[in-house]
Amino acid sequence: MCGIVGYAGSESAAKVVYDGLKKLEYRGYDSAGIAVMNFGRIEVIKSVGRVEKLEKYAHILEGNVAIGHTRWATHGKPSTANAHPHSAGGITIVHNGIIENYAELKQKLVSEGEIFLSETDSEVIVRLIAKFYEGNLLNAVIKCAELLKGSYALLAICEGKNEIVAARYRSPVIIGLGDGCNFCASDEPALAGKCKHVCVLEDGDFAVLTADEVKICDSLGKEIKRQVWLNTAEPAALSLGGYPHFMIKELWEAPSTVKNTVSAFRQREEQIKDALSGVDKIILTGCGTAYHAALVGKRYFEELAGVEATVEYAGELRYNTPIISGHIVLIAVTQSGETADTVEAARLFKNLGAKVFAVTNSLHSEITRIADVVVPVAAGSEICVAATKSYSGQVSALYLLALQLSEKEVAKELLTELYGAPDLISQTLQDIDVYALAEMCARASGVYFLGRGIDYAVALEGSLKLKEISYLAGGGYPASELKHGTLALIDNKTLSAFIITDPDLAAKSANAVEQTISRGGMVAVITSLPEVQSQFAHRAEVVKLPECGKYLSPFASAAALQYLAYRTAVTLNRDPDKPRNLAKSVTVE
């Protein structure tokens, strides 16, 4: 949430920071701003709306040190006054995170005569740094950080100094190590193609960046070393490559994500196997789409491996009082590896002595520092706020984990099945016809997704995706629950979409379809089963999925529903890549 970028070097710093912010826009797009050091003076530009509004100014501003911000508003509406950077007393900052004790700090500063210009929590930071500044910016930032409660990824500059001071606590900061230039940013895409090496700040770290040097230190100012990695962010992943939107591009990358996830798993198989040995209970956690992948994972662990598994929303789990007994494993599923709720749930379990696995697409993220075992999802950069290919990657990683716990012979067969998942997704996307259904969704007053068993897990994903990018009301329910309340909502303007892929439960779901048709509701049936297709031909909108085994079905049905959400958003003229009010990585509570 919120993207920050800093640069010190010999190029036009405003342009470099502008380019970086464009690549981080998925983290928030309510407003944006850049501050540049020009001959010792700081110049600031800000605008409400997307980063591109800054483009013309970024080309005019001169100077070789700059910081910038793209905002997802937490405290204070999107406005120019609330946009970052914020300045006071010759200091300028950008901040990602939430200062939980800002009201108290603000009250004290106001009583000392400070006049606040914004409604943000972040403004207390700049006013505190300015208050503590006595010629050394790093010292002032350290003193300020001692007073802050909450989370921060913070960049500060000071008039007359060609340096950036960065600080990190519970919000990510990555440093890019260039040749005669250095960078800092919230996330790797901002550094794609800019530098060969990167390193990641840890909680409580501070860094001072100039064009020639990066010094990382602790809160006593003592220099520390952090591991340096090759910068693997790919510029190609950040371009549309001929597609109209990132969402559809990334959906089409789901097959290669599954393939690459299988290969990446292979490389860590021995370590994973050892870590799973003796496990008798699994708790899966995540948020949003990752939670939905975990729901599918639960079926894999229980039905393929016979190991008890439960799934909890990470935002709930982090405040539970879990009982750690026997060989319990927590599996945290997160694309970004930075989702605050998921990270904190993992930290809770780790502190209680449970083994923690992270199923993640971000190998340098916070979750990887907490987890005992990292299970890679090899999706590459996912730019669209709506998750697509990362879901397929997460489901395949969970499938592979379950196979590690199942009987050898069964595992062999199931693995061969998984090799068919990439083709299954491609075939689904090639053959599927959801144009008519997307029109029906766009006209409906409410859209409900229903299914049983594994299809219920996918129904939740279909519903989230549609709400997220089309802004249509609705929900996902077990088909069995329909008659316990939801049926009252059905009329000729509501659409109920049933997902039916499990032959064992098909007749039960078909009953619910009949009941909905009888009550005059619009009905769609999304199914891989030929007998269900014939049963509802001419009585419902039938969307055919390729025939496939039960455990592979989420690869097809989820891809179909993600595509349906995309088509509906396009029909309604919504931007599927940047839905209103949202950001990709939810690093705050």
Closer of 163 and 338 to ligand M6R (Cβ)? 338
* Chain residue whose CB lies nearest ligand M6R: 288
Q: How far is the CB of 469 from ligand M6R (least distance, A)?
A: 8
Q: Which of 74, 96, 334, 587 binds ligand M6R (CB under 6 A)?
A: 334
- Adjacent-strand bridge partners of 498: 450, 525
Q: Applying CB under 6 A, which part among 48-56, 81-89, 157-165, 383-391 lies near ligand M6R?
A: 383-391
Q: Which two tokens stand for residue 334?
A: 């997160």
Q: Which of 17, 105, 284, 387 binds ligand M6R (CB under 6 A)?
A: 387
Q: Say how far apart CA 218 and CA 375 lie, in whole Å.
A: 30
Instruction: Specify burial of residue 572 (Cβ count, 10 A radius: 0-12, 13-18, 19+).
Output: middle
Closer of 128 and 377 to ligand M6R (Cβ)? 377
Closer of 298 and 544 to ligand M6R (Cβ)? 298
DSSP 99: B
User: Binding to ligand M6R by residue 395, rule CB under 6 A?
Assistant: no
Closer of 116 and 471 to ligand M6R (Cβ)? 471
| Run of H or E including 7 | strand 3-8
Looking at this protein, which amino acid is placed at residue 7? Y
Q: Which of 73, 192, 358, 386 binds ligand M6R (CB under 6 A)?
A: 386
Q: Applying CB under 6 A, which part among 184-192, 207-215, 384-392, 538-546 lies near ligand M6R?
A: 384-392
Q: How far is the CB of 540 from ligand M6R (least distance, A)?
A: 27
Q: Say how far apart CA 277 and CA 77 lie, in whole Å.
A: 50
Distance from chain centroid for Cα 310: 22
Q: How many residues bind ligand M6R (CB under 6 A)?
A: 16
User: Binding to ligand M6R by residue 287, rule CB under 6 A?
Assistant: yes
User: Binding to ligand M6R by residue 392, rule CB under 6 A?
Assistant: no
Q: How far is the CB of 475 from ligand M6R (least distance, A)?
A: 15
| Run of H or E including 92 | strand 91-96
Q: Which two tokens stand for residue 394?
A: 């997460």
Is residue 548 annotated as part of the catalytic site, yes or no? no
Helices (H), 282-359: 288-299, 305, 314-317, 340-351
Q: How far is the CB of 464 from ligand M6R (least distance, A)?
A: 6
Stretch 435-494 residues interacting with ligand M6R (CB under 6 A): 464, 468
Q: Say how far apart CA 519 and CA 494 lie, in whole Å.
A: 11
- Distances in whole angstroms, Cα of residue 356 to Cα of each of 83, 244, 309: 38, 39, 14
Q: Applying CB under 6 A, which part among 17-25, 138-146, 284-292, 349-357 lies near ligand M6R?
A: 284-292
Q: Which of 70, 74, 336, 535 binds ligand M6R (CB under 6 A)?
A: 336
User: How many degrees, rounded to 5, is the angle at CA 460 between CA 457 and CA 461?
Assistant: 95
Closer of 67 and 457 to ligand M6R (Cβ)? 457
Closer of 166 and 332 to ligand M6R (Cβ)? 332
Q: Are residues 196 and 230 in contact, defined by beta-carbon separation less than 8 angstroms?
A: yes
| Run of H or E including 208 | strand 206-209
Closer of 34 and 359 to ligand M6R (Cβ)? 359
| Run of H or E including 376 | strand 373-376
Q: Say how far apart CA 489 and CA 541 lie, in whole Å.
A: 19
Q: How far is the CB of 122 from ligand M6R (least distance, A)?
A: 22
Positions touching ligand M6R (CB under 6 A) are 287-290, 334-336, 339, 342, 385-387, 464, 468, 585-586
Active site amino acids: 2, 584
